[in-house]
Chains A and B, each alone.
Chain A
Amino acid sequence: GDSWGIFTFLCAALCQLPALPALNCTEELGTSQSIQKTYDLTRYLEHQLRTLAGTYLNYLGPPFNEPDFNPPRLARAERVPSATVDLDLWRGLTDNARLAANYRAYSRLLCYLRALDGQAATADLRHRLGHFCSSLQGLVLSIAGVMSSLGYPLPVGPVGPPTGPPSSLVVAPNDFLKKMDDFWLLKELQTWLWRSAKDFNRLKKKVPPAVVTLRLEARGF
């Protein structure tokens, strides 16, 4: 067993996001503006991540901070839904599925990043991770807002990985494998942010303001 078993359990228990407060801002913020705002957030986070990842990978040390570092993906359980997807499948996603995939991914990523923050050895890293987590939480809420304004239900259930009895901490974690996990977490996060820009670009095109007004009226808002 390793400490990741503990973390996954904790994530499942702690990372239940609060029920979204009723959006009364749909009058002020059209859905297309919410989508734009969410898109802008992903771009901002992607930029922030570059600095954060650079610092964190330097903290992990070589080979993790080498630009050509290209390790094989170890056959460990995928902790975070991967951004990687078949092109036609990605194109064919419904708006709901597209948003839900983003929502689930960032909820999970936020959880793991918070765990990382908890263990970070230096004050500088904790500060950076803390700041990034706040921004990332903003993104999760922003996506939830878009889903809500389009009338889509938020994905239910714990947003952490499947629970199981927590593994015992008898065996000390393998330090190198732990670092690999951190490396892949940051990589997955980076890839999701790249993908989300494309996801929200697509959503922007498909949700013109006029359509949103009609939908709101139909639902008696």
Chain B
Amino acid sequence: LFLAAPPKEPVLMCRSNNYPKGFYCSWHLPTPTYIPNIFNISVIHGTREMVCEKDAFPKNRCHIRYLQLFSTVKYKVTLTVTNALGKNSTSLTFDEFAIVKPDPPESVVAKPVPSNPRRLEVSWQNPSSWPDPESFPLKFFLRYRPLILDQWQHVELSDGTSHTITDAYAGKEYIIQVAAKDNDIGTWSDWSVAVHATPWTEEPKHLTTEAQLTETTSSSTSSFMPPPTTKICDKGAVVGSGAVAVCWTAGLVVAAYGVLFI
């Protein structure tokens, strides 16, 4: 026997995974009410009220198309939930640029490179939900580690959908993931599905030398935070020659340690 309840404050999330087409909002109740609830969503942009079209699936989701790009005025989304016992609401206010978060890269493939015991070739594709990678290019973040170790290595790539790892430990199975982000705005996607690969070996797997392993495990750990955490430097960091290093991210520290390993 369950007790019917008025709705608690709903949880609302809005995101643009298909910039510049538009964005979607999805919601849910933190605790069940055990009776039917009606959700009403309103989107206001400046003085204009926009219609958020409900999706057939999944439920509790609606999408909206941008009428204009590069807007200075924020969007305000208000969600109201009502049932027989009461109502509750929540709202979000955001800039067009702040909610951009692509879906993870797709079709991640990692392969050994023949005759190269320390290399792995990784390739992937832009998420299919991203409508215009030509005009709105994505940049990528690759992370990889041998299964036997906990510490990830990271590479940020501003161009292209492939990368060759050149410092893999011979004969060790690796786990690899990729994340995507609009080149200039928004936040990193979630990590892609993980792929596994082992570098080419001439014979059946041989043990890595004790020296290699101790060198790895005794290295000091840098305080690296995974890219999906929004960092002020992500938006400002410029990749490419002649770029001005405007900030120092922990990722650069790890890259420096990575260089020491090679």
List A residues at the B interface (Cβ < 8 Å). 36-37, 40, 43-44, 46-48, 50, 68, 70, 72-73, 82-87, 90-91, 184, 187-188, 190-192, 194-195, 197-198, 201-202, 205
23 CB < 8 A contacts A-B: A40-B244, A43-B184, A44-B244, A47-B235, A47-B246, A70-B76, A72-B47, A84-B68, A84-B69, A84-B72, A85-B69, A86-B67, A86-B68, A87-B20, A87-B66, A87-B68, A87-B69, A187-B72, A188-B72, A192-B70, A194-B97, A195-B69, A197-B183
User: A189 — nearest CB in chain B belongs to which residue?
Assistant: B72
Binary CB contact string for chain B from 229 to 258 against chain A (1 if under 8 A, 0 otherwise): 000100110101011101100000000000
Contact, CB under 8 Å: B238 / A70: no
User: Which residues of chain A are within 8 angstroms of B238 by Cβ–Cβ distance?
Assistant: 40, 43-44
In the bound complex, CA of A91 to CA of B47 (Å): 26
Contact, CB under 8 Å: B242 / A40: yes
In the bound complex, CA of A46 to CA of B246 (Å): 11
User: Which residues of chain A are within 8 angstroms of B93 by Cβ–Cβ distance?
Assistant: 68, 70
User: Which residues of chain B are within 8 angstroms of A190 by Cβ–Cβ distance?
Assistant: 72
User: Which residues of chain B are within 8 angstroms of A40 by Cβ–Cβ distance?
Assistant: 238, 240, 242-244
Number of interface residues of B (CB under 8 A): 32
The smallest beta-carbon distance between A203 and chain B, in angstroms, is 11
The smallest beta-carbon distance between A184 and chain B, in angstroms, is 7
User: A51 — nearest CB in chain B belongs to which residue?
Assistant: B232
B46 proximal to A (CB < 8 A): yes
Contact, CB under 8 Å: A37 / B68: no
Contact, CB under 8 Å: B70 / A72: no
User: Which residues of chain B are within 8 angstroms of A36 by Cβ–Cβ distance?
Assistant: 240, 242
Interface residues of B in 40-69 (CB under 8 A from A): 46-47, 66-69
Contacts A44-B238, A85-B68, A86-B67; is A73 near B135 (CB within 8 Å)? no
The smallest beta-carbon distance between B106 and chain A, in angstroms, is 22
The smallest beta-carbon distance between A211 and chain B, in angstroms, is 17
Secondary structure class of chain A's binding surface, majority of residues: helix
User: Which residues of chain B are within 8 angstroms of A87 by Cβ–Cβ distance?
Assistant: 20, 66, 68-69
The smallest beta-carbon distance between A18 and chain B, in angstroms, is 25
Which one of A43, A70, A85, A198 contacts B73 once the chains associate, using CB atoms below 8 Å?
Answer: A70
In the bound complex, CA of A70 to CA of B75 (Å): 9
B261 proximal to A (CB < 8 A): no
In the bound complex, CA of A194 to CA of B67 (Å): 17
Q: How many residue-residue contacts, CB under 8 A, span A and B?
A: 84
The smallest beta-carbon distance between A31 and chain B, in angstroms, is 15
The smallest beta-carbon distance between A52 and chain B, in angstroms, is 13
Contact, CB under 8 Å: B70 / A84: yes
Which one of B74, B137, B232, B247 contacts A70 once the chains associate, using CB atoms below 8 Å?
Answer: B74
Given contacts A197-B185, A201-B137, could you give 5 more A-B pairs where the C-beta distance is less than 8 Å? A37-B242, A44-B244, A46-B235, A48-B246, A197-B183
In the bound complex, CA of A83 to CA of B185 (Å): 16
Contact, CB under 8 Å: A47 / B236: yes
The smallest beta-carbon distance between B118 and chain A, in angstroms, is 33
Contact, CB under 8 Å: A194 / B185: yes
In the bound complex, CA of A72 to CA of B72 (Å): 11
B125 proximal to A (CB < 8 A): no
B71 proximal to A (CB < 8 A): yes
Contact, CB under 8 Å: A198 / B235: no
Contact, CB under 8 Å: B69 / A86: yes
The smallest beta-carbon distance between A28 and chain B, in angstroms, is 13
Binary CB contact string for chain B from 128 to 157 against chain A (1 if under 8 A, 0 otherwise): 000000111100000000000000000000
User: Which residues of chain A are within 8 angstroms of B66 by Cβ–Cβ distance?
Assistant: 87
The smallest beta-carbon distance between A72 and chain B, in angstroms, is 6
User: Which residues of chain A are within 8 angstroms of B70 by Cβ–Cβ distance?
Assistant: 83-85, 90, 191-192, 194-195, 198
The smallest beta-carbon distance between B50 and chain A, in angstroms, is 15
User: Which residues of chain B are within 8 angstroms of A84 by Cβ–Cβ distance?
Assistant: 68-72
User: Which residues of chain B are within 8 angstroms of A91 by Cβ–Cβ distance?
Assistant: 135
Contact, CB under 8 Å: A191 / B72: yes
Nearest 3 pairs of A and B residues by beta carbon: A47-B236, A197-B184, A195-B70
